[in-house]
Amino acid sequence: MNGLIQTLSDILNNYGLRQEFAIRACFYSLAVLACIFGLGVVTLRNIFHCAISLAMTLFCIAGIYLFLNAEFLAAVQVLIYVGAIVTLFLFAIMLTAKIGDRSIRQTNKQVLASLAVSAAILSLFVSIIIGSPWKKAAADDTLRLGIGELGKALMSVYALPFEAISLILLAALVGAIVIGKAGK
């Protein structure tokens, strides 16, 4: 009986899931899902489904951020991109599209030109990724950036870009109101 309990506790404490394996599995499945949903955005024929697919892609990317120790970025990604931008897309689609509507074609005559442009951008990214000297990330949490440091950086070193972005957003807001008023 004692032997049985001993074996059982041995199994419970010493066997299990390898953490690295679990992290890798989650990371790669998220990456693959992000690609699949990303393809869905540009190939699905129902515009509402495209928007849902976009939301799922952004979710998967937020998940990848989580595995890269960037929790703040992940939360902000979901809050802004899924919670605000995709919501806005869906709102616009609901105002204009109905289920009975003819499904849209995602391709037109410019497919070859756009393919060339995309290939050019892809090769640019790939060359940058290959060319940059990647530092081997430390295994512990030394890379984890606290929210406090991030806030301080935004308010001191990066104050100018921060203010510039808020100015652009304000301009967009005022512009939207002016365009909206013009119709009346």
Q: Which residues bind another protein (CB under 8 A)?
A: 11-20, 22, 46, 48-49, 52, 55, 71-72, 75-76, 78-79, 82-84, 86-87, 90-91, 93-95, 99-100, 146-147
Q: Which is nearer to another protein, 94 or 115 (CB)?
A: 94
With b for 16 or more beta-carbon neighbours within 10 A and e for fewer, the 61-91 pattern comes to bbbbbbeeebeebbeebbeebbeeebeebbe
Q: Which is nearer to another protein, 95 or 112 (CB)?
A: 95
- The distance of closest approach from Cβ of residue 66 to another protein in the complex, given in angstroms and rounded to an integer, is 10
Q: Which is nearer to another protein, 103 or 114 (CB)?
A: 103
- The distance of closest approach from Cβ of residue 52 to another protein in the complex, given in angstroms and rounded to an integer, is 7
- The distance of closest approach from Cβ of residue 124 to another protein in the complex, given in angstroms and rounded to an integer, is 32
Q: Which is nearer to another protein, 13 or 132 (CB)?
A: 13
What is the C-alpha separation between 128 and 80, in angstroms, rounded?
27
Q: Which is nearer to another protein, 49 or 119 (CB)?
A: 49
DSSP character for 38? H
- The distance of closest approach from Cβ of residue 147 to another protein in the complex, given in angstroms and rounded to an integer, is 6
Q: Which amino acid is at 142?
A: T
- The distance of closest approach from Cβ of residue 79 to another protein in the complex, given in angstroms and rounded to an integer, is 4
What is the C-alpha separation between 36 and 101, in angstroms, rounded?
25
Q: What is the three-class DSSP state of 174?
A: helix
* Contact status, residue 66 vs residue 74, Cβ threshold 8 Å: yes
- Give me 181's structure tokens: 């008023």
| C-beta neighbour count of 33 within 10 angstroms | 17
